[in-house]
Amino acid sequence: MSDDKPFSLVLPEDVADIGKWVHEFADEVIRPAAHEWDEREEFPWPIVQQAAQIGLYDWEFIRDGFSDPTGLTLPVALEEMFWGDAGIGLAIFGSSLAAAGIAANGTWDQTLEWVPQCYGDANDVKLGAFCVSEAEAGSDVSSLRTLAVYDEAKDEWVLNGTKAWITNGGIANVHVVVATVDPELKGRGQASFIVPPCTKGLSQGTKYKKHGIRASHTAEVVLDNVRVPGHCLLGGKEKLDAKLARARESGHSGEKQPAMATFEATRPTVGAMAVGIARAAYEESLQYAKERKAFGKPIIENQAIAFMLADMLTEIDAARLLVHRAAWMGVNGGYKNAEGSMSKLKAGRTAVWVTERAMQIHAGYGYTRDFPVERMHRDAKIYDIFEGTEQIQQLVIARAISGLRIS
Ligand SMILES: Cc1cc2nc3c(=O)[nH]c(=O)nc-3n(C[C@H](O)[C@H](O)[C@H](O)COP(=O)(O)OP(=O)(O)OC[C@H]3O[C@@H](n4cnc5c(N)ncnc54)[C@H](O)[C@@H]3O)c2cc1C
């Protein structure tokens, strides 16, 4: 370890301040609204607007977060936001997946043009959606069927297909769509496109009724002869042509699939959301265990309950350490053994396990919608599923440590 960079787990002051600022908003605005929007199963526009008014729902906040040299701003902010509520948290953060997709695959000019349009401003909030998954292609991103065909005469791309389970799908102003331009090349023949606001042919399909994160909008996105100008191809035509030529020649493009590049960058931030849910459930349980009496004494005085709480906090802290390590590594030299996937795997499992234990501690009350741990338990499960399932994270880690194409 070098003398000029001593090992420290103390958060930089500016990062800690952002954490406090987000916590305040989560405590005063998000948490009190959580039950209502979960029950309504609707996008919480007024809350997102309030977040925009204080600069929390804001492309510059996200830009500064992604460019923070410690990598810790977004994990710290997201833990607090999702501590408030995961459904509303995802309503606030959902556009950032589209922003990350644009930044990862687009040129600088495209990023500057389209990322702000995913947010709008405090008086006119806009949304972004990142559309990869399809009914027959979730984990298997290389099997996308949505097709993009180039119309050279008009310098336009024509998109056809249906996307499944899209956060903000159909209600977003900017949709970032990953499509195949050469199906024979599978994942190597894909590209990302911007579908600008009000483009003809893009519509919302079925809106899903979900188990958890119900304030976040999830729907199909139907693309029926959607025409977008040539400049909406992220990265530009020259770069795509060169990539396709390399893939055809060597069977390898030398570049990551567009969707994969986005997911890699966002995994620790997704892990941080899961840590926030777990911490919220733990804190509710600690409080409850001190207040609830059975057999004449607070239930926390039983080792069985106190040990559960001890294990819950230990798991949460372990998950947070992996998330912070991965976030730091992501911007300081990159990953060695898929540490981004490790952090998301651990945090997702921790959130599911901790929220289940929280229900156990609350018992009968915890099984009802009158107590927030029931909602937190439903919300937590998505963290084993989206942005790469539990098994896909294991696959990524297994391939990284073995150097083999484990399947
Ligand atoms: C609420 C919600 C929001 C979402 N938001 C978005 C979004 O904004 N944009 C977007 O593009 N997508 C989004 N998704 C889609 C999500 O990313 C996919 O659901 C996820 O990638 C899993 O795909 P799948 O559901 O098709 O599962 P499948 O791929 O069919 O997997 C089914 C099971 O098989 C396992 N499995 C699959 N392949 C392997 C393998 N090779 N080895 C071992 N096990 C395997 C999986 O782990 C899983 O247990 C969202 C989903 C939900 C539910």
Mean pLDDT within 248-254: 70
Quote the pLDDT of residue 250.
Answer: 82
Which residue, by CA, sits nearest to atom 44 of ligand 1?
391
The per-residue pLDDT for range 97-120, each reduced to its tens digit, is 999 999 999 999 999 999 999 999
Quote the pLDDT of residue 264.
Answer: 63
Q: Does the beta carbon of 132 lie inside 6 Å of ligand 1?
A: yes
pLDDT band for position 175 (50/70/90)?
very high
Closest CA to 97 of 304, 273, 222: 273
Torsion of CA 261, 278, 275, 73, to 10 degrees: 120
pLDDT for 6 beyond 80: no
| Residue that wins the pLDDT comparison between 79 and 4 | 79
Could you say which of 283, 339, 387, 390 is catalytic? 387
The per-residue pLDDT for range 19-55, each reduced to its tens digit, is 999 999 999 999 999 999 999 999 999 999 999 999 9
Q: CA 369 to CA 254: how far, in whole Å?
A: 50
Instruction: Classify residue 266: in a domain, yes or no.
Output: yes
Quote the pLDDT of residue 3.
Answer: 53
pLDDT for 188 beyond 50: yes
Instruction: Classify residue 360: in a domain, yes or no.
Output: yes
**HSE-up of 95 (CA within 13 Å, CB side)?**
27
pLDDT band for position 1 (50/70/90)?
very low
Residue 123 neighbours by CB distance under 10 Å: 8
What is the chain's mean pLDDT, rounded?
95
What is the domain extent for residue 48?
Answer: 13-93
Instruction: Classify residue 69: in a domain, yes or no.
Output: yes
Same domain, 284 and 168: no
Q: Distance from the CA of 386 to the center of ligand 1, in angstroms?
A: 6
The per-residue pLDDT for range 319-333, each reduced to its tens digit, is 999 999 999 999 988
Same domain, 262 and 240: no
Mutation test residue for ligand 1: of 38, 134, 139, 394, the one with most atoms within 8 Å of CB:
139
**Please, where are the H alpha helices in 216-302?**
237-250, 258-291
Q: Does the beta carbon of 167 lie inside 6 Å of ligand 1?
A: yes
Q: Distance from the CA of 383 to the center of ligand 1, in angstroms?
A: 11
Which residue, by CA, sits nearest to atom 14 of ligand 1?
165
The per-residue pLDDT for range 353-366, each reduced to its tens digit, is 999 999 999 999 99
Ligand 1 closest atom vs CA 259: 11
Q: Distance from the CA of 382 to the center of ligand 1, in angstroms?
A: 10
**DSSP H or E segment with residue 229:** strand 218-229
Mean pLDDT within 186-204: 97
Closest CA to 232 of 144, 105, 118: 105
Q: Does the beta carbon of 142 lie inside 6 Å of ligand 1?
A: no
pLDDT band for position 340 (50/70/90)?
very high
Residues contacting residue 382 through CB under 8 Å, at least 6 positions apart: 86, 211, 212, 213
Give the single-character DSSP code of 3. Answer: T
Ligand 1 closest atom vs CA 169: 8
pTM over 0.85: yes
Instruction: Classify residue 371: in a domain, yes or no.
Output: yes
Same domain, 349 and 222: no
In the residue annotation, 387 being an active-site residue is answered as yes
User: In this structure, what CATH number is given to the domain that contains residue 227?
Assistant: 2.40.110.10
Q: Distance from the CA of 86 to the center of ligand 1, in angstroms?
A: 19
User: What does DSSP say about strands 147-151 and 156-167: parallel, antiparallel, or unpaired?
Assistant: antiparallel
pLDDT for 4 beyond 80: no
pLDDT band for position 160 (50/70/90)?
very high
Same domain, 227 and 266: no
pLDDT band for position 266 (50/70/90)?
confident
Mutation test residue for ligand 1: of 386, 393, 396, the one with most atoms within 8 Å of CB:
386
Q: Does the beta carbon of 146 lie inside 6 Å of ligand 1?
A: no
Evaluate whether 115 touches 63 at the Cβ level (below 8 Å). Answer: yes
Instruction: Classify residue 108: in a domain, yes or no.
Output: no
Same domain, 220 and 328: no
Quote the pLDDT of residue 116.
Answer: 97
